[in-house]
Copies of this chain bind each other. A is one copy, B any other.
Amino acid sequence: VRRLSVLAWVPDFARGLVREHRVRWALEEAGLPYEVRELREVDQQSPGYRELQPFGQVPAYEEDGLVLFESGAIVHHIAERSPALLPPSPAGRARALTWMFAALNTVEPDISNLATIDHFASGEAWAPLRRPAVVDLVKDKLDIVARRLRGRPYLEDQFTAADLLMSSVLRILRYTDLVSSVPVLADYCARIEARPAYQRSLADHLAVFARNPPPPGVTA
């Protein structure tokens, strides 16, 4: 049995972006069934959950006694078991892992910094002073990803877990025109979001929020 921890409710701006979705999507690509454990904020702080996920974040993933966290590591674990997510050759797998780390460790940090400014710090005095340089850092990274994708449908020879992660990272910028205004990036995201496994995983992800009320004191 595979079990994934997911958030019970998030506001609109975060829907489709919570990191558990990356794992749901990988499981759909691999055709592996799973159960979910819905977490409220109080559950994330509980000692029991911290045993599974020391940082209290989602997702945590349980599979026959193995407990993993970090969406990058969980996606890799699933991808190693599915030709839909990694090529068979060791060299191809190493190249895909290179792009997985590039997505999460080189591209995502700047994008997260921009999203933090825009979603959580817009009223703070430092935010408008810092924002222009962060936008420039994001543009530099996007420019390099776009150059890589020119003439290629995917980062490597086939769709891999690296495209799953890279497109998920780019999607954080959907509230801006930083990706949508660059045709090669917009096409890449559209091509990947047309995948049936993406669509199914997104529908399942959103269904949880539709079913649950917002936490006390939050208006939906």
Interface of A with B (CB < 8 Å)? Answer: 54-55, 57, 65-74, 76-77, 91, 94-95, 97-98, 100-102, 104-106, 108-109, 112-113, 124-127, 129-130, 141, 144, 147-148
Contact status A68-B113, CB under 8 Å: no
Contact status A141-B105, CB under 8 Å: no
Apart from the given pairs A66-B95, A72-B105, A74-B98, 19 other A-B contacts in the complex at a CB distance below 8 Å: A54-B102, A54-B147, A55-B106, A55-B144, A65-B91, A68-B98, A69-B102, A70-B101, A73-B97, A73-B100, A73-B101, A76-B97, A105-B108, A124-B130, A125-B129, A126-B126, A126-B127, A126-B130, A130-B130
Contact status B104-A104, CB under 8 Å: yes
User: Copy number of this protein in the oligomer?
Assistant: 2
Give the chain B neighbours of A126 by CB distance below 8 A: 125-127, 129-130
CB distance from A90 to the nearest CB of B (A): 8
Give the chain B neighbours of A125 by CB distance below 8 A: 126, 129
- A148 CA to B55 CA, complexed, in Å: 10
Query: 29 A–B contact pairs at CB < 8 A?
Result: A54-B102, A54-B147, A55-B102, A55-B106, A55-B144, A66-B91, A66-B94, A66-B95, A67-B95, A68-B98, A69-B98, A69-B102, A70-B102, A70-B105, A71-B101, A72-B101, A72-B105, A73-B97, A74-B98, A104-B104, A109-B109, A109-B112, A124-B129, A124-B130, A125-B126, A125-B129, A126-B127, A126-B130, A130-B130
Give the chain B neighbours of A54 by CB distance below 8 A: 102, 144, 147-148
Contact status A57-B97, CB under 8 Å: no
CB distance from A198 to the nearest CB of B (A): 22
For A70, A101, A130, A147, the residue with the greatest tally of chain B CB atoms inside 10 Å of its CB is A101
